[in-house]
Amino acid sequence: MECTLVLVKPDGVQRGLIGEIISRLERRGLKLVGMKLMKVDDALARQHYGEHVDRPFFAGLVDFITSSPVVAMAWEAENAVEAVRSTMGQTNPTTSPPGTIRGDLALDIGRNLVHGSDSPESAQRELALFFTAAELVDYTRANDGWMKE
Ligand code: DAT
Ligand code: MG
């Protein structure tokens, strides 16, 4: 089963949207297998956003993600990466469709509430940055038979 990393970013925590964001993923049917409230330090921020190191917004991005706690989560589904990305919407909230987290709840590309891994390979790399294997919980849900044919 595919697993992906989701972060409720500092703006989501500060705006009281942790529950709203979790609820959207939970109601869609993804399975929560790891979760923690934590501060991201400079080293973790730089590793996590390493692909953007040469972009002009990199310094601001590191400052932002380290500015206040985040909620880090691991979510599982058959196509977890794609399911989370489509629930999140596009990077820029103003062009993100209504019905998505960013399209419904955000307006600024630098304050877009949520992170989701962009590929299964990124998900594996990012999950290993935020979670140990022991922090990912293996369990079955009673309603799984009602979620999939
Ligand atoms: P996403 O978070 O949709 O995967 P990304 O990986 O391209 O987007 O960029 C990571 C974050 O960096 C993004 O959520 C917000 C910020 N960012 C991206 N492009 C930006 C830009 N042009 N100006 C300011 N911040 C930007
Ligand atoms: Mg990305």
* 107 CB-near residues (< 8 Å, 6+ apart): 93, 94
Share of the chain above pLDDT 90, in %: 97
Domain that holds residue 131: 2-136
SS3 at position 147: coil
Q: How far is the CA of 139 from the centre of ligand 2 (A)?
A: 28
Assigned domain for 17 exists: yes
| Token digits of residue 133 | 């294997």
Q: Which positions ≥6 away from 34 have C-beta within 8 Å?
A: 72, 73, 74, 127, 131, 135, 136, 137
Pick from 6, 8, 20: which is nearest to 113 by CA?
8
pLDDT in tens, 98-113: 999 999 999 999 999 9
Asked if residue 142 belongs to a domain, the reply is no
The amino acid sitting at 134 is A
Does 11 fall in a domain?
A: yes
Task: Decide which of 92 and 143 is more confident.
Answer: 92
* Locus of tokens 């970013």: 9
In this prediction, residue 120 carries a pLDDT of: 98
147 in any annotated domain: no
pLDDT at position 89 is 98
* Number of structural domains the chain divides into: 1
Q: How far apart are CA 73 and CA 61, in angstroms?
A: 19
For residues 69 and 13, the answer to whether their CB atoms sit within 8 Å is yes
Q: What pLDDT, on the 0 to 100 scale, is given for residue 21?
A: 99
What rounded mean pLDDT belongs to the chain? 98
What CATH number has the domain bearing residue 95?
3.30.70.141
Task: For residues 49-72, give the mean pLDDT.
Answer: 98
* Inter-axis angle of helices 80-88 and 18-28, nearest 10: 130
Q: Which pLDDT does position 84 carry in this prediction?
A: 98
pLDDT confidence band for 54 (50 / 70 / 90) = very high
- Ligand 1 contacts CB of residue 111 (under 6 A): no
Q: Measure the CA–CA gap between 79 and 68, rounded to whole angstroms.
A: 30
- With respect to residue 109, please indicate whether it lies within any of the assigned structural domains: yes
Q: What pLDDT does 129 receive?
A: 98
Q: What average pLDDT does this structure show over 118-138?
A: 98
Rounded distance from Cα 51 to ligand 2 centre (Å):
9
Give residue-wise pLDDT tens across range 64-93: 999 999 999 999 999 999 999 999 999 999
pLDDT tens readout for residues 23-48: 999 999 999 999 999 999 999 999 99
Which of 48, 49, 61 most suits a substitution to test ligand 1, by most atoms within 8 Å of the C-beta? 61
Asked whether residue 144 is assigned to any structural domain, the reply reads no
- Return the number of other C-beta atoms located less than 10 Å from residue 135's C-beta: 14
- pLDDT > 70 fraction of the chain, expressed in percent and rounded: 100
